[in-house]
């Protein structure tokens, strides 16, 4: 009897309006966690979106047009070298400084440096930010474009 009396208020909380509000809030929280997980930069997806059209899906490039990033010396060399090319462009390579955030460039380069047999340590957003500042590279116009 004591048990059922103490369960009663909980049951009405769970089944009533406040319960529905609570579960809606939980669903919203779960959704926002899921979407923030999606928004976290995924180097492989970023490469596919921004780089693979020229450098090809396996980083093999197109001889005579787009250099291979697989096995590339500059890609696997000191972090600022690759960050500089992506931020400022070079020759036929477009500058990404005005489109991609430090975090995004760090993620895509970390992916490139550890894929297709490449073996170089990750690049941090701080290194990209330092190269951006040193070289006067453009910044993304708004947070919305910094994907
Ligand atoms: C429109 C085609 C194009 C796109 C898109 C592109 N690149 Fe390039 N990339 C080039 C070309 C062309 C070169 C060679 C530039 C030169 O000869 O100076 C190059 C050079 C590079 C280099 C220097 C390689 C070396 O050894 O000197 C790196 C690193 C690089 N790209 C990374 C990237 C990354 C990462 C992305 C995506 C964020 C990307 N590129 C997107 C065309 C492209």
pLDDT digits (tens, 9 = 90+) for 23-58: 554 444 444 444 444 556 899 999 999 999 999 999
The reply to whether ligand 1 has any atom less than 6 angstroms from the CB of 63 is: no
Residues 56 and 26 in one domain: no
CA 70 – ligand 1 centroid, Å = 12
Residues 18 and 71 in one domain: no
Question: Which pTM was predicted?
Answer: 0.78
Where residue 141 sits, what CATH number does that domain have?
A: 1.10.760.10
The reply to whether ligand 1 has any atom less than 6 angstroms from the CB of 72 is: yes
| 98-107 core/surface letters (b: 16 or more CB in 10 A; e: else) | ebbbbebbbb
Name the residue range of residue 22's domain: 2-38
Residues 72 and 33 in one domain: no
Residues 33 and 92 in one domain: no
Model pLDDT for residues 44-95, shown as the tens digit of each residue: 999 999 999 999 999 999 999 999 999 999 999 999 999 999 999 999 999 9
Least confident residue range of 35-39, 82-86, 112-116, 117-121 = 35-39
The reply to whether ligand 1 has any atom less than 6 angstroms from the CB of 79 is: no
Q: Which of 52, 93, 107, 112 to mutate to test the pocket of ligand 1 (most atoms within 8 A of CB)?
A: 93
C-alpha atoms less than 13 angstroms from C-alpha of 47 in its C-beta half-sphere: 23
128 touches 46 (CB < 8 A) = no
Residues 62 and 20 in one domain: no
Q: Which helix (H) or strand (E) holds 61?
A: none
Residues 12 and 73 in one domain: no
SS3 category, 78: coil
pLDDT value of residue 141:
86
């Amino acid at each position: 009897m004591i048990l059922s009396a103490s369960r009663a208020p909980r049951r009405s909380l769970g089944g009533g309006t406040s319960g529905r509000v609570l579960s809606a809030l939980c669903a919203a929280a779960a959704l926002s966690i899921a979407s923030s997980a999606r928004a976290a930069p995924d180097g492989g997806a970023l490469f596919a979106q921004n780089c693979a059209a020229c450098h090809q899906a396996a980083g093999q490039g197109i001889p005579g047009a787009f250099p291979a990033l697989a096995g590339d010396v500059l890609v696997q060399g000191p972090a600022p070298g690759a960050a500089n090319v992506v931020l400022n462009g070079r020759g036929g390579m477009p500058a990404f400084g005005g489109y991609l955030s430090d975090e995004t460039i760090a993620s895509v380069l970390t992916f490139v440096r550890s894929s297709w047999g490449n073996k170089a340590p990750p690049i941090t957003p701080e290194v990209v930010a330092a190269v951006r500042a040193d070289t006067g590279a453009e910044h993304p116009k708004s947070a919305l474009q910094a994907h």
